[in-house]
Amino acid sequence: MRDAWEKHLTRWAGAGLMDAATAERIRAFEASSAEGQKLRWPVLVAISLGGLLLAAGVLLFVAAHWDDLSPGWRFTLVLLLVAVFHAGGALVSERFSILATTLHAVGTAALGAGIFLAGQIFNLQEHWPGALMLWALGAWAGWWLRRDWVQATFVALLTPGWLLGEWSVATEFMHGRSLIPAEFTLLLAITYLTARVGSDASAVRKALVWIGGIAIIPATLILISAREFWTEGEPLVPGWLSLIGRIGVLVLPLALAYWLRRHSARLNVFATLWVVVLGTMVPTEHLQAGQGFSGVAYFWYRVAPYLWCAVGSVALVAWGLYEERRERINLGFIGFAITVLSFYFSTVMDKLGRSASMIGLGLLFLLGGWWLERTRRRLVARMQAVKR
């Protein structure tokens, strides 16, 4: 709403309908009014916790009486849960927007539960990713109508969840099925993490950054550990299906990055190349269980991933400095620290004695932690000085 009146105010001042001093007084008045209407954090916590408790209480009540209800009443109850929460959100939307957002969020969550419960009520043995697709479509409808960050979060989680579910079903019991979803998840986490550009501080982009920040390190670890061993009689993923998956991995996150970042998405291309190279360091060829590596293969599959992850961590820090995003700097340092510790545990520690390994680990924590934190603070301070 604020963006709407700001746009009109600027247009009126530009057309000469009011002078600049009057426009500034209007802005100052609206800013002071908005400041007084801001919700304090205890209210936000209370409403969020209330929404969670309400959803949990309703689910417990339904679960307690589920066996006593006929299929018709079960289906009616499922529909009522979705309708009541969304109707309640619509009723209070003008008076209490944060409560409306919470009720609509519970309604969208109830939609997912309703879809899966409907399948259970009528004993439907259908394609289970289809349920995720229907839930994602409901979230998309909620975001189109509401344009709030909670519905956007549902969309950001459910849509890739549906795509990953489709891939899981299509490649079930096939060799080579793990690498593509691992790469897709990591690329999507990077896209979400870099959703904020410049001064854009919308709640939707903030939510995407939080999702990407939480997911990027676990997604990297999942990709590194996506190794598969071929077993006798296990078929390979068909070439045409692997090609579709590979195109989806490369195109979908980049298309989303372009939609969110426009021309700044060119940096996401380099992130995509980094993920693709990291994927080549995961052995997915026909390997008998227990077979080791030697020579160049040992370096590429055992040492190179640590070096490449260190490069990626430094690049993430540089990316954060370039676009003045503190969360990327912090995550880059966390990734670098995890990479060093993982290399020490997997490669160095077992070659030392017990006491020497413990001493080395202690020095690594003390000196390495001190140097990383000192460097991080210096870079953040330099970035903030440039902003000023």
Query: What integer pLDDT is reported at residue 144 of this predicted model?
Result: 92
Asked if 151 and 142 touch (Cβ cutoff 8 Å), the reply is yes
Which has the higher per-residue pLDDT, 346 or 351? 346
Q: Quote the CA–CA distance of 283 and 293 in Å, as a whole number.
A: 10
> Residues 302-321: pLDDT tens digits?
888 999 999 999 999 999 99
Query: What integer pLDDT is reported at residue 1 of this predicted model?
Result: 44
Asked if 113 and 102 touch (Cβ cutoff 8 Å), the reply is no
Query: What integer pLDDT is reported at residue 311 of this predicted model?
Result: 95
Phi-psi region of 236 (alpha: psi -120 to 50; beta: other; left: phi over 0): beta
SS3 221: helix
Query: Which two tokens mark 323?
Result: 């676009």
Segment 347-376 mean pLDDT: 76
User: What's the burial of 243, exposed, middle or buried (CB within 10 Å: 0-12/13-18/19+)?
Assistant: exposed
> Residues 34-61: pLDDT tens digits?
544 455 556 666 766 777 777 777 667 6
Angle at Cα 308 formed by Cα 304 and Cα 311, nearest 5°? Answer: 145
4 Cβ partners below 8 Å, 6+ apart? none
> Residues 58-83: pLDDT tens digits?
667 666 766 776 777 777 877 888 88
- CA dihedral (348, 352, 354, 358) in degrees, to 10, reads -50
Query: What integer pLDDT is reported at residue 255 of this predicted model?
Result: 96
> Residues 241-274: pLDDT tens digits?
999 999 999 999 999 999 999 888 999 999 999 9
Alpha carbon distances (Å) from 155 to 121, 259, 267: 26, 15, 24
Residue type, 105: A
Q: Is the pLDDT of residue 332 over 60?
A: yes
Global confidence as pTM: 0.81
**CA-based radius of gyration for the chain:** 26
351 Cβ partners below 8 Å, 6+ apart? none
